Structure 1
């Protein structure tokens, strides 16, 4: 198998298998809805829709890719951040190879998920089951993801004019990145972690590579079920899980990767302090600052930045040293 993009043809992929599955979730019943007639297609006949009945809620979508030949016993699970889906691990917004294919070529069996209520996982009826979600504007993520200090409203097409001078994110592709953004809920953490734990039970002990909000779930999973996790790679955690903070000992090797330009954002300065204070309590946790290793300009979206191959190499070097 080989990627169709000419920019990606330097990494041919041969697979021994690929597929997908949904995992987690449960059946709920709705009884108070009002039946109605709905025209489901523009030129179709109206159909009777009764909202009362059974729905599957809390399921997660997982797609897996298995390199040929098999090289490593431990699978690698990729968990995305808030307001995103598993697409963030695939081809970058400007058409370069993503972390999924890079780590396939390093020999890992790779599992990419869309967490509960994201992407192909689907979501429950609104507001019958879940309250309405929140969405993030491009201007909001521009500042929060450390692309720059401020993007004026309506200037997304000229975002590179407002970006940090040394930013490694492909700013000309900012709008393509924004096309990946999806609504997110703020009250579904318990359902999400339940689905992630089910995924771990199905794959067997795994290395989890997580980003941002996904790191919170990875830390909780490791604290609660260390037998299911061989190691963690955490790309810029959005917070430290309360389960991790309460741990008397840290059970698994953990690499926390932080990007550049953190001093440009007061919120990220405080988050870095939280991360370092937590990691300092446990010898199995290593915090890796990319600028300290000669890699500069990284935004919060490390796996999409123009130097993402260098970032992947340094992570792979750490993973290769893990016990087999």
Structure 2
């Protein structure tokens, strides 16, 4: 049996076991913290009168002074019966937050719960300028302007819909990819998760992720989409602390000049379905494959899984939300166990 087939078979068994697990999740602790950031001075702005409450008394607000910016928010969940050898860090993609890994848009358990049930300590973050990390003034601090997405944009760009003009406000009229596993009935809930993003904050985001690892210690990183370059580059900056990398359809790669830093970090790249039907994804997939080859050439261990070839079909870019998300998570769990990253 091939390695892909073994992954798929084990994943199916784990998905079945997880779907039948209705017992409460037992935690020994949970909490949150902010990490990273810097102080910035703003000057030369006019003082404003602001009425904070309708009918209230205006207050003078002086926008000049020191601001805390570029911090990141992290929420952690520590299971009572810990089975992971290291904490698992979940990093989301562009225009999204840590909600990516929480309850799916149609109400099923997400990967956060899945890996908690498997005994992993899970750290789920909102990166710089997302969600509970907070925002800063632009263009004074965040250079440029934020990018906002229409309701239809993710439907087409994330390989949920079959090509341009596949989205329709009426779920029954949407043109889904054939055999799509994305929960069409929950798409509106997915769109509600979208937040504005900047294209100019990568350095700040990488600095905050490094600060998270410095605080948490040795860990495993599972990262998605836009976080592809972040995951690889942070591992290159802290190769002694990153014990494994799990790249879920990474949108980019690490620094090719520092690829040697990854040679002792087992790495898994996972890609979904319909890539050949999309105008952008073949190139993105090729970039990931080339970087994987570079790690191997440096003496590293990399597994690249195209889910359809492993017998897991119908997955969109948002595979952690797809209806078979537990099966995909089971494949990742099998890989982690095979790398000796769980406690005996």
TM-score range, shorter chain: over 0.9
Deviations 1:61-112 (A, max 9, x none): 0000000123333000000000000001000000000000000011000000
Report 1 or 2 for greater relative contact order, CA contacts < 8 Å, sequence distance ≥ 6: 2
TM-score, structure 1 normalization: 0.93
CA contact (8 A) 1:168 1:305 kept: yes
Residue 226 (structure 1) aligns with: 239
Structure 1 residue 160, shift from structure 2 partner: 5.8
User: Mapping of 1:19-38 within 5 angstroms?
Assistant: 19-38=31-50
Look up the match of 1:125. 137
- SS of the residue 1:266 aligns to: coil
- Distance in 2 of aligned mates of 1:323 and 1:150: 41
Aligned length: 317
Q: 1:39 aligns with which of 31, 48, 51?
A: 51
In structure 2, the CA distance between the partners of 1:159 and 1:58, relative to structure 1 (3 Å rule), is farther
Structure 1 ranges of 4+ moved more than 6 A: none
Cα offset for 1:245?
A: 5.9
User: Which residue is equivalent to 2:125?
Assistant: 113
TM-score, normalising length from structure 2? 0.88
Distance 1:159 1:152 in 2: 14
Measured on the aligned residues, the alpha-carbon RMSD in Å equals 1.9
Q: Is 2:291 aligned against 1:278?
A: yes
SS in 2 for 1:200: helix
2:11 maps to 1:10: no
Unmatched segments (≥5 aa) in structure 2 = 1-18
| C-alpha contact (below 8 Å) 1:116/1:191 kept by paired residues | yes
| 1:81/1:213 contact within 8 Å kept | yes
Counterpart contact for 1:219–1:244, Cα < 8 Å: no
Aligned pair 1:316/2:333, yes or no? yes
Give 5+ residue unaligned stretches, structure 1. Answer: 1-6
Q: 1:290 to 1:268 in 2, by over 3 A?
A: same
Indicate if the aligned counterparts of 1:58 and 1:116 stay in contact, CA closer than 8 A: yes
Q: Would the aligned equivalents of 1:85 and 1:115 in 2 still touch at CA under 8 Å?
A: yes
- SS of the residue aligned with 1:16? strand
The answer to whether the 8 A contact 1:220-1:244 is kept is: no
Q: Specify the alignment match of 2:272 in structure 1.
A: 259
Output one character per residue of 1:177-198: Cα deviation in whole Å (capped at 9) or x when no partner: 0000000001111100000000
Are residue 206 (structure 1) and residue 219 (structure 2) matched?
A: yes
